[in-house]
Amino acid sequence: MAVQILIVDDELDILTVLAMIISDKTDHKVTTTNNPFEVPELIKEGTYDLLIADLKMPGMDGIELMGEVRKLDKYIPVLIITAYGSPELAEKAINKGAYDYITKPFRKEQILIAINRALEWQTMNKELRRLKDKAGE
Amino acid sequence: MKEEQKLKSQAELLETKLFLQAVIDGIRDEIIVIDMAYRIKGANEAFVKRLGKPKHEIIGEYCYWVLHNMDKPCDMLNHRCPVQDTLKIGEPCGVLYTHFEGRGVRCDRIIACPALDDLGLVTQLIVVEGDIAKSKKNSGDLFDIQKLTPQGKLAAAVAHELNNPLAVILGFTDLLMEKMDSDRQNHEILKAIERQAHNCRRIVECLSIFTRYPETTEYSTDVNVNLERMISVIENILDAKKITLDKNFAEDLPKAKGNMGDLRQVFMNLATNAIAAMDRGGHLTVSTRLNTSGNRVEILFKDTGHGIKREYRNRIFDPFFTTRKVRKGAGLGLSVSYDLVSKYGGDITFETVAEEEDKERKGTAFTVSLPVVPLESKQI
């Protein structure tokens, strides 16, 4: 089954370029939204393997969004993208549970590598949980 | 014996001179010493190297001639001269300038420090100029938004606003180049776009290193005059947005602490926010008064807009917080205003009734409170 990636950024052009990069280079299926408030609903309805979220969005920032998402899915890896010149806020996002961060402007290779790593981590995490469950049986 | 002592003193003097010259030549920043008439009395190697002229052609010349090809002290709009500032107030002054040199960018921090004689009088100035892009780019502690000066916050906002379009430009260019044969002419065009976008990215990086250089806070402003000027700028906008204006300015208001430019920015931010809150028209009241203790000037901006929702009230002074639509605001106006006012010992408070709470009484009132400048003070 194809990997499902959900991307949220208030800039439509960023969504388009990210979706193009991912679709061109991988077999992953991409869903995009420019409204962070839609994300919890989408997560509830779908089965996403990865969330890519902008850090700064009107109404709800990436860190707040992650809090909402974690209430619904404890394990989904979140990649934060940020246009700030510094990593401080993105590092804060990692402390709050994001898997990794990418700064804008990015190279497509950075995006693809970060996605691969996050998905590998997701697979290993799933396997670990499965083994733990098995051991606990 | 005396002759011997004299020779010894001369040797020591020469040794000290050579030592000092070696010290200033060893510094990578450019250093010049200027007398009160703006003549260059000394320069280090870094400065001489940048100018590309022999040192003897620089020494004795006027700094404004050597550096800016001007025949009198620089008087360029939006280009403050720290030398003149230091001569005015007798304290170290600094500025940050971005210079574009060919494909490169320099972010120069220029600091002028007064050199005093035995009597404590300024006799010459030491001017240090350095490209902070080089020296501080990787220092790691530069971008704590909370600690940035208002200019730094502005730079952060610019960086944020530009990095988004740059990500789009570079992303699409990269994808298109991949899809195109490298021998096509259009491929070259795309490469040029990519190159220029990378140049922009470097400029943004350069902007991001604006740091917190302490500024002088010894300014005073006639608040009423300043408000009148600000209002003359927004009058047309108010008309267009069907917003009526009421001015209640207190007479004989003492001067308040604060630089005129800084305060105008604060007033403009508050007025802009009020206008944005009244998208269906409304009424704006701008008033000034002296507080009851007589030690603070208060400036009030009261609008009949949609008010601030309860959940946003404790965040409105946070940097980058905005409730406006994309591209309508960077979320820095209030944060920058608060910092500017705080710099002068002032404060900004607000009262608000959101539309959801009470449609009749809806609106927001911001009060800027600034310390009064004591009459005997010599503030500029």
Which chain B residue has its CA at the smallest distance from A87's CA? B143
Q: Which residues of A touch B201 (CB under 8 A)?
A: 105
What chain A holds in terms of domains, given with CATH numbers, is 4-136 (3.40.50.2300)
Interface confidence, given as ipTM, is 0.79
The Cα–Cα gap between B28 and A101 comes to: 35
Residue B141 has a pLDDT of 36
Q: Are A85 and B205 in contact (CB < 8 Å)? A: yes
More confident residue, A54 or B320: A54
Would you say residue A114 has pLDDT above 50?
yes
Query: For B13-66, what is each residue's pLDDT tens digit?
Result: 777 777 777 777 777 788 898 988 899 988 888 888 888 888 888 889 898 888
B290 — pLDDT class (breaks 50, 70, 90): very high
Please state the φ and ψ torsions of residue A17, each to the nearest 5 degrees. -70, -40
Residue B78 has a pLDDT of 54
Quote the minimal CA–CA distance from B98 to chain A in Å: 17
**Under a CB-based contact definition with an 8 Å cutoff, are residues B113 and B92 in contact?**
yes
Q: Are strands B282-290 and B243-248 parallel, antiparallel or unpaired?
A: parallel
Q: Are B143 and A86 in contact (CB < 8 Å)? A: yes
More confident residue, B269 or B116: B269
- Percent of chain B residues topping a pLDDT of 90: 16
Q: Which residues of A touch B144 (CB under 8 A)?
A: 86, 88
Show me where the domains of chain B are located: 2-136, 145-207, 220-371
**Under a CB-based contact definition with an 8 Å cutoff, are residues B181 and A30 in contact?**
no
Residue B338 has a pLDDT of 84
Non-local CB neighbours of B154 within 8 Å, separated by 6+ positions: B210, B332, B336
Would you say residue B375 has pLDDT above 80?
no
Query: For B62-106, what is each residue's pLDDT tens digit?
Result: 988 888 778 888 876 556 788 888 887 777 777 766 554 444 455
Among A57, A86, A102, A111, most B C-beta atoms within 10 A, so best to mutate, is A86
Report which DSSP code applies to B44.
Answer: -
Residue B170 has a pLDDT of 92
Which chain B residue has its CA at the smallest distance from A22's CA? B175
Count of A-B CB contacts under 8 Å: 84
DSSP element (H, E) containing A84: none
Q: Is A18 on the interface with B (CB under 8 A)?
A: yes
Q: Which of B159, B174, B204 faces A107 most closely, judged by CB atoms? A: B174
Q: Is A108 on the interface with B (CB under 8 A)?
A: yes
B287 — pLDDT class (breaks 50, 70, 90): very high
The Cα–Cα gap between B236 and B257 comes to: 29
Query: For A16-37, what is each residue's pLDDT tens digit?
Result: 999 999 999 999 999 999 999 9
Quote the minimal CA–CA distance from A137 to chain B in Å: 46
Residue B140 has a pLDDT of 36
Would you say residue B284 has pLDDT above 90?
yes
Restricting to A residues 25-54, those with a Cβ less than 8 Å away from any Cβ of B are: none
Residue B367 has a pLDDT of 93
What's the token pair of residue B209?
A: 């290193």
Q: Are B143 and A84 in contact (CB < 8 Å)? A: yes
Residue B96 has a pLDDT of 67
Range B2-136 has CATH code 3.30.420.40? no
Residue B258 has a pLDDT of 87
| Least confident window among A75-79, B166-170, B219-223, B349-353 | B219-223
Query: For B295-305, what is each residue's pLDDT tens digit?
Result: 999 999 999 99
- Which amino acid, one-letter code, is at B59? I
The Cα–Cα gap between B11 and B13 comes to: 5
Q: Which of A56, A105, A106 faces B320 most closely, judged by CB atoms? A: A56
In whole angstroms, how large is the CA radius of gyration of chain A?
A: 15
Average pLDDT on A48-77 reads 90
More confident residue, B212 or A86: A86
Residue B98 has a pLDDT of 56
Segment of A70-74, A130-134, B216-220 carrying the highest mean pLDDT: A70-74
Query: For B162-217, what is each residue's pLDDT tens digit?
Result: 888 899 999 999 999 988 887 778 888 888 898 888 877 766 765 654 433 334 45
| Least confident window among A5-14, A38-47, B234-243 | B234-243
Which chain B residue has its CA at the smallest distance from A111's CA? B171
Q: Which residues of B touch A11 (CB under 8 A)?
A: 164, 168, 326
| Least confident window among A72-81, B136-145, B165-174 | B136-145
Q: Are B166 and A105 in contact (CB < 8 Å)? A: yes
B327 — pLDDT class (breaks 50, 70, 90): very low
Task: Tell me how crowded residue A86 is: count the other CB atoms within 10 A of its CB.
Answer: 19
Q: Are A83 and B156 in contact (CB < 8 Å)? A: no
Q: What is the CATH number of domain B220-371?
A: 3.30.565.10
More confident residue, B139 or B116: B116
Q: Are A83 and B167 in contact (CB < 8 Å)? A: yes
